[in-house]
Structure 1
Amino acid sequence: MELYNDAVKKKFIEQFKKEEQPQLISIFRRGAELEEFLKKDIYDFNSKEILEFLTLLNRATLSSIMSCWSHITKYIDWAIYQKITKGTTNLSRDLTIDDVKNCVDEGKKLYITADEFLEIMNTLVNPRDRAMMIMLYEGIQGFKCSEILNLKKKDVEKAMENDNILTVHDDKHGSRDIKVSGQCLKICLEAANEPIYQKKNGYSEANNKEVILADNDYVIRNRRTNSVKDEERTSFFVITNTMRYIFSPELFDYPYVNPTRINRSGVLYEGYKIYKDKGCLETEDYIGIINKRSERYNDIHKKVYKIKEYLNEDEIKKYYAKELGIKDSIRMR
């Protein structure tokens, strides 16, 4: 798997002894999700983003997270020396030990279970928000959520007549077909026909509690502006801002959940169903899940290796402890 800004990071890693390199690769690989999401290398992160990066590493002990912090700090120092950063200050050095302590994983909730997903879906009042959620959960995302943003009403209607096989279009990787649930298509069609959007899930205290949506062919649409922009697809930030609100303390209070983790939550549920049935996950099971969700890959074994980072026995037992009858499980927040 390539790292974010792969060539630069590998140049940095090459300076270390061979026995140290796997740990560095692991740190950068796990953090690549956040770098990809923010579209910048960690050497350009602010202090809050560095702490989020450390949290994403999912380390269970203080010594482990301190080691990761040290490596990240050295990397940023090196990048500044190489004059490849936007700034000249290593913000990692401004952090305190107490800051970093809070990044130790004591049950930080990164994913949602199937029951939690259903609760969210039943709570959301806007079809547009439900459509975003269910598409992500069933494996539709793409580069900067472009598979969602590019989806049109006619694509949904075509899938309804073609055994629920939906053709989605990714800005970076092109088109692919994915089989989705009838519920997913039904909700997407409702979103495409939705004329009014209720702010703050119907709880807005503003004078204008609703907005009129643009009248175009896209499933996910922004507010009407009465300009040529109404014919264009909406922005990636409409999705990220919606997700931030849904998972904010104001609604569900899952601060570490983001679009990619909703997608992975769907993968985790698929793995849980297999694990509950047979008590283990084998390579063929991973391949089956990858193919069921029509995941893109060049090398299936590398794809399996990547998915195992979050779909494994430990994660299944953590999130589905109740369903598996496991007592004294970690309480997540």
Structure 2
Amino acid sequence: MVKLKKDLNEELDKVLDGINLIDSIKSTMRSDLSKYIQSDKVEQILNKEANIDILDEKELRVFLKKIFNFTRDENFNPAIVIEQEKDNYTQVELYNQRFKEKFLSKYSENTQRVNRVLFGRIAKLEQELGKDLYDFEYEDIEEVLYALRATTHRSLQNSISTIEQYISYAMRQKKTRNKINYATAFDKRTRIDKFLDKDAEENMIFDKAELFEMAMYADNAQDGAILGLIFDGISHKNEFEELVELTIDDCNLEEQEINIETREEPIPISTETKTLIKDAYEQETYISITGENVRRYKIADSKHILRGLRGNSKIKWRNVNQRILRIANIFDEKYLNATNIAYSGQIHLAKQLLDKGMDMEQVIDKVLTRFGVTINSSSRFYLRKRIEKYLEKAS
């Protein structure tokens, strides 16, 4: 459970007193919060009958975000408050901790945090085998890679790289009895397919409310809009070309549709995505939060929805994934990525069409067209498989 510090709780009390003085503000706050938090919890907190300890972490993020937007006080910024508290109260237990901390010390604070989590996950296996990772042989490292349950080649390769660097460091320090760094045997992409958690990678589906909650409460509308646009059908293929090139002229907000030159049909968008597009286009300053540091950057002035910083009229495609990852980290959703967002949108649309009585084969073609996916036997087969698996789980 994440708790506010005493002095911040006192500041929150003052904010709640101010909110309670004006009925219209209190009513709006109650209505907005109740969309994502149980109404009885909202009432108890607003009436100061209970403190925020009754909220779980996701609810706390929503609550703090609302207070932060109301006060513009960085002390209530959820990204700062919760990250600080996690640093204070979450201690990752490492096997042979002193030596691993020595290895980690040469990296940046952010890289240390990521690698410490990795070593924490490996620690259980180290304890079971009674030896440090640097003494692991080929079969032991295979067990590590299976246990990580990575969902993408990139994340698995990052983990392998860290393990390889750690073992090399131990060899230079003459800590290991091995003469071979067995992690190097796994540095080719073709050799690691079997370790991927394919089920999680291809079937992690977010429902619409859950996904748009993350989008709406992202620190930047520029980031949140990415989630909404991909969910509604903008393609993430070809280095996010449709997203990167999207301009306000392509968006008919009144009719709630997007017109892209290479598409035969307009792409309908939800009311939520319409709001995100409008907010993203009007956003002038991009907020970047790292630990306790908050930086603001001027967003370029152009007709692109997703604009760059430092004068770049449009976002660089490599930054799209980084922004999705930022939201994933804030909301602790490790499976949030462009592919799963698109899959989630496809399933949502498929269910809508099936509920209207449309035939499965028509639904498949309609969904693939909406999401800009080439229609062939392969794409139809895999979409049908995902739909059927989702329906089976929902029944």
User: What TM-score range do you get, normalising by the shorter chain?
Assistant: 0.5 to 0.7
Q: Report the TM-score when normalising by structure 2.
A: 0.46
Tell me which residue corresponds to 2:44: none
Partners of 2:380 and 2:215 in 1: how far apart?
29
Tell me which residue corresponds to 1:257: 336
Partners of 2:366 and 2:198 in 1: how far apart?
33
Aligned residues: CA RMSD = 4.0
Tell me which residue corresponds to 1:272: 351
**Of residues 325, 339, 343 in structure 2, which corresponds to 1:244?**
325
**AA in 2 matched with 1:215:** D
**Of residues 354, 361, 365 in structure 2, which corresponds to 1:287?**
365
Percent of residue pairs bearing the same amino acid type = 17
**Of residues 211, 215, 220 in structure 1, which corresponds to 2:306?**
220
Does the alignment pair 1:186 with 2:275? yes
Does the alignment pair 1:160 with 2:253? yes
Q: Deviations over 1:252-280 (max 9, x none)?
A: 222233112101111112233455677x9
Quote the offset at 1:92 in angstroms: 6.3
Partners of 1:93 and 1:297 in 2: how far apart?
30
Partners of 1:93 and 1:149 in 2: how far apart?
31
Partners of 1:257 and 1:55 in 2: how far apart?
13
Partners of 2:232 and 2:217 in 1: how far apart?
19
Q: Give the 4+ runs in structure 1 shifted more than 3 A.
A: 50-57, 99-109, 174-177, 272-278
Quote the offset at 1:305 in angstroms: 1.6
Partner-residue secondary structure (3-state), 2:259: strand
After superposition, the Cα gap between the structure-2 partners of 1:100 and 1:148, relative to the gap in structure 1 and judged at 3 Å, is closer
Does the alignment pair 1:314 with 2:392? no
CA contact (8 A) 1:131 1:191 kept: yes
Partners of 2:230 and 2:384 in 1: how far apart?
19
Relative contact order (alpha carbons < 8 A, sep ≥ 6): 1 or 2 greater? 1
Q: Deviations over 1:116-158 (max 9, x none)?
A: 11321332232111211100100102421111110112222xx
After superposition, the Cα gap between the structure-2 partners of 1:93 and 1:51, relative to the gap in structure 1 and judged at 3 Å, is farther
Q: Which runs of 5+ in 1 are unaligned?
A: 1-46, 58-88, 325-333
**AA in 1 matched with 2:372:** E
Aligned residues: 219
**AA in 2 matched with 1:314:** K
CA contact (8 A) 1:121 1:130 kept: yes
Partners of 1:209 and 1:150 in 2: how far apart?
26
CA contact (8 A) 1:197 1:213 kept: yes
Tell me which residue corresponds to 1:85: none
Higher helix residue share:
2
Partner-residue secondary structure (3-state), 1:222: coil
Partner-residue secondary structure (3-state), 1:111: coil
Partner-residue secondary structure (3-state), 1:254: coil
Q: Deviations over 1:61-110 (max 9, x none)?
A: xxxxxxxxxxxxxxxxxxxxxxxxxxxx752699x99x977848589972
Quote the offset at 1:183 in angstroms: 3.5
Tell me which residue corresponds to 1:140: 234
After superposition, the Cα gap between the structure-2 partners of 1:166 and 1:193, relative to the gap in structure 1 and judged at 3 Å, is same
Partner-residue secondary structure (3-state), 1:245: helix
CA contact (8 A) 1:109 1:257 kept: no
Partners of 1:186 and 1:242 in 2: how far apart?
19
CA contact (8 A) 2:234 2:372 kept: no
Partners of 1:244 and 1:266 in 2: how far apart?
18
CA contact (8 A) 2:287 2:297 kept: yes
Q: Which runs of 5+ in 2 are unaligned?
A: 1-141, 153-183
1:62-141 aligned within 5 A: 90-91=185-186, 103=197, 110-141=204-235
